[in-house]
Structures are given as C-alpha cells and as structure tokens.
Structure 1
C-alpha cells in the first residue's frame, strides 16, 4: 500500500489550494496542468447504460507479459520489473473503467493505491468527486494498445522506475449524465493517442504506482 504521504486526501487538496474542476470524462495531467477539454470522453466513467449497472473493463489489446517467478540476475530482475510495471498500468486502466462504469462510487478506495505523486492524483481526485456528485457515468473502457520502454532506472532500495510510452485507445468509451443522456465528445477531441508514463516501485515487496502521466493528444497512434 502506498504510504499516506503520497495517498490522495480531499483535505490535502483543499489545503494546497487546488481548484475543483468538473469534467465529463477522464482527466489527464500535462506538465502539471489539468486539461480535461482535450480528452472529453477519454476514459471510462461511471455506470453502464444504467447508472446502477456496472460494466467490466475490456482487456488490453496488448496484454503485459507475465513476470519471471524467481529472477536472480540483473537482466532477469529488470525484465520482471518491466513486466510488472506494464501489468500495473493495464490494471490501472481496467480499475479506472470499473470505477467510472459504477458511477465513481468508492473511487478513492479503489484508485488511491495506483497514484504515487500529487501531480497525478490531486486533479483526478477532485474531478472524480465532482463526477460522483453530478451522477455522471460511462460505458466501455479505454484499452492499452501498446507499451514501449523509454527508460529504466535501477535502485538499491526497491524504488526502480520504468518509463513507458503507451498508446491508449478511448474509442469505446461513452459518457452519460445522471438522467442517462449521452454526453458527446468535444468536436475534434482525439480518441487514440500517446501517453508517457513513469511507473515507480514503492519498495521491496511493494507495489508499482503511476508517478507521472503526460498525454500527447497531438501524437496519434
């Protein structure tokens, strides 16, 4: 479990003066700036066609490789870390879809463990709060179409980093208002493009977290 120092809390967000922003879909962070308008409808929101129904996330088109069971050499350890980091990113998208497809109910309990840095969770947490209050939801799920390692950082204390360039497809995601009326994407909003991710290991025998996510809506994939 991620330590409380990096676990999102609404009170922390208030203390640091974060503005609460209502969005109609998955929000992203680019260089610390919240830009929901670029990805309206980007990631699964709550509920299926009915707010009370929960739709499951679709599997990734490119499943992460299974990690080695007992790595011993540096090469094996690196391979396992990369596989684990990729698998964690896929799980992050699947969990986000499940949360959004269920009206963002208990979003904090389900998504807190994935977020490892305030630049990621502060904006998303306040947005998910607003979406839950508004009763918005989505159907469908975004899929991780591909992942490529762009950098790898070793550590003697279990805090390795895997930098990934990922192609994310949001075409199957549809947003809905509380009354079930579909919320259309903004005209021209991209639906399949590249993200840069920094996945960080939180210590020996611990978990991987999303420590940075930078969208590149101008880079179709």
Structure 2
C-alpha cells in the first residue's frame, strides 16, 4: 500500500550512543576540516514509508546446557581490545563501518516498531532521524498507521551498501557517509487492525536501491539518517 506523505517538520533530539566516530583523534593528528553543505531530500509521491517496515525474528529459544562438567573449564584468555584508528585512512574506514551498522540498526528498529503496531514509534525512531525533512513525512505516516491499527510481519533488510561519498565535515556538523543501499522488502506483509492483509499494489517494487546520507551528530553522539532517496526504478 502506498501512503501520501505529509510535510510536517520537527527537530529530532540527539541521543548518546556507543557508535562514535574518531573525530577527536582526527583533530589531534591534524586532519583538515572541509566544509560541505548537505540537505535532506525526500521525494514526495515516490517514497512509500510502508516499504521500510517489517518485523525482526526473535532470538532462538534454545540455551546452553546448565549441567556441570566433571572438569572445570579453564577461563579463556582476556581478549585484547582492538587498537584505536590513528591514521586518516583508518578513521575513515571506522566511520564508514559505523555508518553502515547504524543504517542496518535503523531498519531493524523500524521493523520491530511496525511489527508492534507502531506503538511508541516516536520514542524508538526519533534517535535515527537527523533532519526535519526526514522526520516530518515519516512521522506523519507512522502516526496515521498507528491510529489505523495497522501492523506488519516480516522484515525489510539492507542486503548490501556501497559508499558513494565521504565528507570529513559537513556545515555545522561532523562526518558524513553517503551510501547506495540495496533494500529487500519481499518478506514484509501488511495487515489491518482486524487482521486482513493489505495487498501490495500491483507492480510495486520489492527490492531496489535507496540513497542515504548518514551524518554524525557530534562527539559521543549518534549517526543519523539525514537524507533518504528511493530509486524504485533501480532493481538490485
């Protein structure tokens, strides 16, 4: 089902996260700061919010045996922490890895929210949205779906992503990573409050490319989705 998006805007709070780029290190080693302006883009009439919704399968119910062995197992040696990146190349690689991981987490969280009938969608998804042009239309759509009592099963997944651009610093911000992501919606099914399945519109693509700009929000803060542009004409 395709939903018309509303232009409501709202500033999203910045939330602390363990995903933190090595910005401080970059400054200490003298990496030049390049100002790059970035603006969020959402194509009204093309982007369908319901196509990014689904559910994440729960963890397995099996657990390790609690029986005690005859001989105690010696403790494993302590794992050595990975060295922090120090060169510009290492810092860039770490930032790219963190941005990709954050995008995958965004889809996982969106799937969980949709599977739960969009309950508490704002609390769960606000931390992922870094620009009002992203928050506005998605918030309007999710609010309407929650009021209608719709829910989904299945999960949209990021099958792959490749870097299309990297900026050490954007205007008024920090690092930005641009990604072309192949997203698969084939397992996602949408239902009404009464349990009737909402059939996918004829010809609607199920696996295609999205362009994303993932932006960091500052030291000890999160990576956010600042731009999201679908390309349903680009199958993957």
| TM-score (structure 1 length as normaliser) | 0.74
**Structure 1 residue 159 corresponds to structure 2 residue 169:** no
Give the corresponding residue for 2:138.
Answer: 124
Residues of 2 paired with 1:43 and 1:216: CA distance? 13
Higher relative contact order by CA 8 Å / sep ≥ 6: 1 or 2?
A: 2
Shift of 1:69: 5.4
Instruction: Give 1:119 shift.
Output: 1.3
Kindly report the root-mean-square deviation, in angstroms, between the aligned alpha carbons of the 2 structures. Answer: 2.4
Kept after mapping to 1: 8 A contact 2:176/2:213: yes
From the superposition, tell whether residues 33 and 41 of structure 1 become closer, same or farther in structure 2 (CA, over 3 Å). closer
SS at match of 1:216: strand
The 4+ residue runs of structure 1 with deviation greater than 3 A are 30-33, 38-41
Q: Is the 8 A contact 1:170 1:192 kept in 2?
A: yes
Higher CA-based Rg: 2
Secondary structure class of the residue paired with 1:145: strand
Task: Please tell me whether the aligned partners of residues 42 and 228 of structure 2 are also in contact (alpha carbons under 8 angstroms).
Answer: no
1:178 matches 2:187: no
- 2:93 equivalent among 79, 99, 123: 79
- Structure 2 counterpart of 1:189, from 195, 204, 214: 204
Distance 1:114 1:82, change over 3 A: same
1:33 aligned to 2:43? yes
Aligned to 1:43: 52
Structure 1 residues 130 and 158: alpha-carbon distance in aligned structure 2, compared to 1, 3 A threshold: closer
| Superposed counterparts of 1:13-162, under 5 Å | 31-35=41-45, 39=48, 42-45=51-54, 55-57=55-57, 70-155=84-169, 159-162=174-177
